[in-house]
Amino acid sequence: MDQNLAINIVIVVGMVWFIGKRFAGVKGLRSLNADQLQNEIKSNRNHVLIDVRESSEVKQGYIAGAMHIPLSRLKQRLNEIPSDRSIYLYCRSGMRSKQAARVLSKNGFHELAHLQGGIMAWRGQLKK
């Protein structure tokens, strides 16, 4: 086998593995639309709502009652999140909230849900 071909195969396999790992689903993560999230927040008092966007994004507006923990700081701030509550996550589009759910799941948090479509899909009012 040609050495360049072998190197290319290794690179492609590595990229497929990386992409698959990054975008694979999180076991037990529920995806909620905006209406479902609003209803669950109202009916479930034993929850934590976490905005995982960066500070500059939060200045544009956030969902009332949300705790702000940027995805970039989540691992360092896990101790601030109660593990005995349902955790609802959101970001701008829904991608970072899935990544945050993966981090939380790996660290023993189990009741996880995220806002599908992120804050862009939110129909309720925003605080500033």
Counting Cβ atoms within 10 Å, is residue 32 exposed (0-12), middle (13-18) or buried (19+)?
buried
Let me know if 91 is a catalytic residue.
Answer: yes
Which is the catalytic residue, given 69, 71, 91, 115? 91
DSSP line for 17-62: HHHHHHHSPPTTPEEE-HHHHHHHHHH-SSEEEEE-S-HHHHTT-B
Please state, in angstroms and rounded to a whole number, the distance separating the CA atoms of residues 1 and 87. 51
126: tokens are: 């925003």
Which residues are part of the catalytic machinery?
91
